[in-house]
Chain A
């Protein structure tokens, strides 16, 4: 039964004047759909199309030219390295946090959940800034780090740390509600049948949450590769060294090199589309197990 039939059925038994009040006329329906489409078209669709239109404005050769720049290649490499560190780090944390929160009862649980969500509430600029305060030259560990010749701010470790911070809650917040809802009966049964803790986790818990886990990881990945504000504060913008893809886009754009800026940006836009596609597929899988 489609949603439409669900909505139609009870109304059809009502008197005509009541039907008219409950079910909006076709006119209202299409008016609302047109308003929504125009709004989304202006605010979401046109910006998306613009990225690709501007990238290919001067043809395919110019488009690919943007990627032969060594600085662009270095930026892509740094972004991949950052994501490859940030995602596993937050994935392991997400699994540990959801296991302890969803499988056990202890006081202060809600406070812990709020604290995990905290990085989402903090402006990206401030997220980067706290690491500058901590590791920067004027910061707490700054003098000691300088003495031992360890660079964190304006270097790759700072970028990785800031990225881990802004993507911190993604995996945990997908897993916790789902695991709380599922309860622990299946795990208890597995333990009762003699499975070890690890085996229970691998064979029972993980298969039960695999889609939510994947969902959290792709959201985490999209943010890790696309983070701009926090990374911009800690990076120092050294071309070819501490520029990620979004920072490289900014530099090209500010140099009025629009085609190259949008060409590199189109990589990120493509990643965003891929993320949305995977997300839709996962949601479909949830509804049709």
Chain B
């Protein structure tokens, strides 16, 4: 997030696209709903009429995968009606002409046809956003989980730069991160092209710094593989050993049949985990790990805030902290690491090596955490980025973006579009929530369909149906709900049975390698 949660309460306008905040980030949604009660304007764009839409002044029920066309349509109106922030664009941005030329190709009628949003709604959104400044744009995985995910993200930035909303309190582009420490895992460089703090592996000076700190003679300089390519390398033996730390890939990756083929063909898999999972079945060695509450440490939240996590009990049996497991493997491969425990790792390594955390020390985050960038110990942390439109890279770069459809669209054989996500009462593959009593509220998966389609196919609410794609088929109960428009099915990936990922399409954004969880073609049948 460029901005912070505490700004939500005082925001004047929200544009929420592809974020089912009420279920996936409930506490964030409280602040949005409260702001609306105090008079803020909420615009929601989503294929489903999800709960946040009930609080919205304008709800745009966009077609799955039409985000770029829809956003280009809004920007077309902003430019055509001269409503954009000319001063901000001139002073702080570059390549405006690239954007202008592209969005010209998306007159509002065309944007309406592609997105399914009425012309007058697109125009109303543009005029509303131009008249209430600044506005906060929030998105979640509805934007990123597409083959055009990166382009979707860039389109949201285009819109906020055009409106002059970046670098301002209660503005910005705010992706709500899905997992408690997905931000932190990025920051810590569990990524193939950077060292901690987003320092490029290609930069010789950076490598030099880390070689010295880690007391090693060399460090690899070319970017490594991303998850889909790692897994594709298992059957071909390009990847011979695969280390999976706390991820249940066999349920969470798209196209489970294909994923399990890859995992089962691996020469050597090591898993660190707290529970046996569908993924540890494929392991050659399983290492028992300490869980939340069994180790000191830090998580970094969506708003870049480094928060403390504390230990209240010992790990069960022989289970050990993960940092210890990695340190022990390093030792057996010839390296003695000094830091013992998370506090030493953070204070003596991470905050020394990554300038953005230079000022974050355990002693400073006993209470509220600090938000990076926080370069020195006097620095109060950064509530919002790009202050006054001064972008980290210099000028904000516009890029005209062409809309592209999902890789697989509906046809005669598979006439429905399947989109997926999370529900309030479970978390991911339920490794945790199924063992904390939440099954009592939500005991099984459903396929959510529209009343119109239920009637057409003679499907009753709660009845078992069969949902099939080119990759698989599941038996699952139908949940008939007004949230879903005709022609769409919506499912989650919490349960092994009826998991959406038996059906999802293992195609990826070419650059980010994010899978297209949000769009594939399926058919529905009554289960006999």
On whether the two chains bind one another, the answer is: no
| B binding-site residues for A, Cβ under 8 Å | none
| A binding-site residues for B, Cβ under 8 Å | none
